[in-house]
Structure 1
Amino acid sequence: MATQLKFEVKCSEAEWQARQDLAACYRIFAHLGWCESIYNHITLRVPGEDNAFLINPYGLLWEEVTASNLVKIDGDGNKVGDNPYPVNLAGFTQHSVFHKSLPYAHAIVHTHTPDTMAVCSTEGGLEASNFYSCFFEGAIGYHDFEGITVRSEEGERLVKNIGNHFILMLRNHGPVVMGRTIQEMFLMYYMLQRACEVQVKTASLGKPIVVPPEVIDTHQRDRDKQLTTDFGKLDFEAWKRKIDTIDRSWRD
């Protein structure tokens, strides 16, 4: 099938905005190198539809994703509409569980970046040893590796292990980050990626300095003052302007 990047899509204004935001997110991740060929996923709930989601077309690189070629699917991964691209159902298995079970999971990303996978593959997981990782101390769930996440029966354990957190580190695998908005998810992933990058670099230099609990408490207290309903919006809009200077086709 020849690559086609633009389609005619009949949808509400709210869905079209969601499509543009998700397409932008894919392009930003691709620009920053946080993608894995045609694999991994970012999914977003369609506004006003409890059981409809947008996902990348299976077979396209993230830098090829556009607003119109995103695939609309239901909660079981079945396509809605006549988009010709297939969906990697295996990859959506874990996303569907979180979307269905967690009311705040409107936007979800799962990646295989080397640094996040490295941290997921260490016994201690993410350590409170740098500015970014201290934000996440006590706010991450961990799930033991069970192989490729294609079996629906694993879903109950995934939900149990994430608890009420927004991040689940799949041991020996990679992170899952979710947010109430795509902007919130993006900024949380950005900080997690940085935390893992710094941890990996620190480990190559020697024993890390672990931040004391009382300092972490202060750090998180001050963090919480910055958490608003617009968390991540300024960052996301700034990166959208950046990718517009490279290629504006994501808007189509």
Structure 2
Amino acid sequence: MKSLKESVSEQEWQARVDLAACYRMIAHYGWDDLVFTHISARVPGPEHHFLINPYGMLFEEVTASSLVKVNLQGEKVQDSPYDINPAGFVIHSAVHESREDASCVMHLHTTAGVAISALKDGLQAYSQQSLFALSSLSYHDYEGVALNPDEKVRLVADLGSTNFMILRNHGLLTCASTIPDTFLLMFILQRACEIQLQAQASNQPLITINDKILAGIKAQADEVTRSAGGALAWPGILRKLDRMCPDFRD
């Protein structure tokens, strides 16, 4: 595609580059699901437009210019040869519309995430990684493929002010004020799910972190994530992508 760098604001272009990088890293870790999950980011400005992946493009193919810009009604506000995933729009528009702090929303169908979402007791306090997720975690019951606009009300109510969500029998969701922070939260949640499944598969007695430590993490979670947030690792991630697949910036 022709580069949009000269036809959008500097702030929007940076958001496009960071969001394309996010898609490429999800593909790098093998957390993509062909073309069926999505990451969105609000375009800086008062219009409440957001960027989302072109439906049908593999995550390893997404570039800054190929991202589709839509409004909260799901209408394209900039010419694009691509459509968007309607289920992706329902989930992401619900969060963007209701949470001013959710500039980026990531939803994945990873094997570990879906497995944990199917467990009755969900995520457990078996690892340090799990504590950060448990400090701001919500659940949303499965209602079928997310095509019903009425589900938005219930999803938003379940999400509340949390930054981590497990969608029952479906997958994982994280949201934050920046793209790097949203990626870091998903990295932590995904690792917590992987660790739990491996620990449970050992069939050995498991040690659950006690409530006192969990309560302390909850009280300190905001401070900890600000001091070691996504911005700390993000420059290194961009350098990695520049070595692996620099075309994400196109």
TM-score range (shorter-chain normalised) is over 0.9
Mapped to 2, the partners of 1:202 and 1:242 lie a distance apart of 30
Instruction: In structure 2, give the amino acid aligned to 1:27.
Output: R
SS at 1:146 equivalent: coil
Query: Once superposed, what is the RMSD of the aligned Cα atoms?
Result: 1.6
Q: Distance in 2 between matches of 1:249 and 1:192?
A: 28
Q: How does 1:16-31 map to 2 (within 5 A)?
A: 16-31=13-28
Q: Distance in 1 between matches of 2:86 and 2:227?
A: 32
- The answer as to whether partners of 2:40 and 2:52 remain within 8 angstroms in 1 is yes
Q: Give the count of matched residue pairs.
A: 248
Q: Distance in 2 between matches of 1:128 and 1:177?
A: 18
Alpha-carbon distance between aligned partners in 2 of 1:165 and 1:48, rounded to the nearest angstrom: 24
Residues 18, 44 of structure 1: 8 Å contact kept: yes
Look up the match of 2:10: 13
Secondary structure at 1:240 match in 2? helix
TM-superposition CA deviations, 1:165-193 (whole Å, max 9, x none):
01221101111110111111011111001
Q: Is the 8 A contact 1:28 1:240 kept in 2?
A: no
The residue aligned with 1:226 is 224
What is the match of residue 248 of structure 1? Answer: 246
Structure 1 unaligned regions, length at least 5: none
Q: Going by fraction, where is helix more abundant, 1 or 2?
A: 2
Normalization by structure 1: what TM-score? 0.93
CA contact (8 A) 2:98 2:156 kept: yes
Q: Displacement of 1:229 after TM fit?
A: 7.7
CA deviation after TM superposition for structure 1 residue 220, in Å = 4.4
CA separation in 2, counterparts of 1:224 and 1:82? Answer: 39
Question: Deviation digits for residues 95-145 of structure 1, max 9, x if unmatched?
Answer: 101100111111001000000111111001110111100122242111111
**1:223 offset after TM fit, Å?**
4.5
Question: In structure 2, what residue type is equivalent to 1:228?
Answer: R
The CA distance in 1 between the partners of 2:160 and 2:218, in whole Å, is: 19
CA contact (8 A) 1:186 1:236 kept: no
Shift of 1:90: 2.2
**Mapped partners of 1:240, 1:76: distance in 2:** 32
Partner of 2:124: 127
Change (3 A) 1:229 1:71: farther
Normalised TM-score (structure 2): 0.94
Give the AA of the match of 1:129.
Y
Counterpart in 2 of 1:190?
A: 187
